[in-house]
Structure 1
Amino acid sequence: MPKMIFVNLPVTDLKRSIAFYEAVGARLNPQFTDETAACMVFSETIHAMLLTHDKYRQFTQKPIADAHAASGVLICLSAESRAEVDAMVGQAAGAGGRADPGKVQDYGFMYGRSFEDPDGHHWEIMWMDMAAAQKAMERA
């Protein structure tokens, strides 16, 4: 079985966050969801666990950071195309997120944009043409 990743995110409004992540293409896994947490599935191996602050505090003694004010992590997902990058960022903005808090990255063979969810968590969406990237690296 391939390794799985579970990104655990503290959220202030669980229902709003579920709706947001569904809007950007994740699906809710009800098996691991209750009134304190929701499992959002991006792929067979990538999941985001949305945790109320009370639930999140069960896993750490550190204060919960305000992701609107400080950066603690940048999460990056791959996309199949430039159009998919743009679509996901557009979906995020339409669902209450903030589009492009960072610079748009366009290197021809690699294209990336980003969004913040309603709690300020920073997600990057990146497409890369691997063959063109290898050629560019060989030239460098």
Structure 2
Amino acid sequence: MTATSIFVNFPTTDLDRAKAFYEALGFSINPNFTDDNAACVVLSDTIYFMVLKREYLATFTDKQIIDPKTHAQMSIALSRDSRDEVDEVLAKGLAAGGTEPREAQDYGFMYARDLDDPDGNNLSFVFMEAAAAESGPEAYLAEQAAAEPTTATA
């Protein structure tokens, strides 16, 4: 069985701006699936963003195309290997015209920062401690608390 590919489709009001933004984050554009209506942003061998002009995206559904600046339909979380890598990709995204809609979220076992692209589509960049991913957040935090030195009062 071949690996499942994921294509996430979302709207843009400015295709050239969207392509420049995602390239600034370090992703590439597949020219074979890019034209005047859409751009194929390559995240990996099996994961792609299809950034589509709003009018073109509307041809794929009978539902209303929301404005991602005012409505949240989805949030896509993308993992990074460290907190520093999360901060680095956010810095690139902010420099390329993105916005950070809320403060960083630090849960002890996981660190996340949200980045809205210039159209308002939300991406969350996340680092999770490997031990937390293996044992679960509650077990990881309990283990961390047990390992902290205690101070005795006299």
Amino acid aligned to 2:124: E
Write out the 4+ residue segments of structure 1 that deviate beyond 4 Å after TM superposition: none
Evaluate the alpha carbon distance shift between residue 136 and residue 70 of structure 1 in structure 2; reply closer, same or farther with a 3 A threshold: closer
Task: Name structure 2 gaps, 5 residues minimum.
Answer: 144-154
Judging changes above 3 Å, is the alpha-carbon distance between structure 1 residues 136 and 14 closer, same or farther for their aligned structure 2 residues?
A: closer
State the partner residue of 2:149: none
2:93 is the alignment partner of 1:92? yes
1:15 aligns with 2:35: no
Q: Distance in 1 between matches of 2:137 and 2:85?
A: 23
Q: Which runs of 5+ in 1 are unaligned?
A: none
Do residues 35 (structure 1) and 33 (structure 2) align?
A: no
* Equivalence for 2:146: none
Length-normalised TM-score, structure 1: 0.92
The structure number with the bigger radius of gyration is 2
1:91: Cα distance to partner?
0.8
Distance change (3 Å), C-alpha of 1:31 and 1:105: same
Output one character per residue of 1:94-138: Cα deviation in whole Å (capped at 9) or x when no partner: 000102x13411123211101100100111000111214527522
Aligned equivalents of 1:135, 1:72: Cα separation in 2: 27
Q: 2:59, 2:31 → 1: CA distance?
A: 21
Query: 1:76 maps to what in 2?
Result: 77
Q: Distance in 2 between matches of 1:106 and 1:57?
A: 37
In structure 2, distance between residues paired with 1:135 and 1:77: 19
Q: TM-score by structure 2 length?
A: 0.84
In structure 2, C-alpha distance between the alignment counterparts of 1:36 and 1:135, rounded to whole Å: 42
Cα offset, 1:62, TM superposition = 1.6
> Residue 111 of structure 1 aligns with which residue?
111
Query: Is 1:5–2:9 an aligned residue pair?
Result: no
- 2: CA distance between counterparts of 1:29 and 1:18? 11
- Give 1:109's aligned amino acid: F
Identity across matched positions, percent: 45
Cα RMSD of the aligned pairs, angstroms, is: 1.6
Which structure has the highest strand share of the two?
1
Pick which of 61-70 and 14-23 moved more. 61-70
Aligned-partner SS, 2:3: coil
Q: Partners of 1:8 and 1:136 in 2: how far apart?
A: 31
Distance 2:137 2:44 in 1: 29
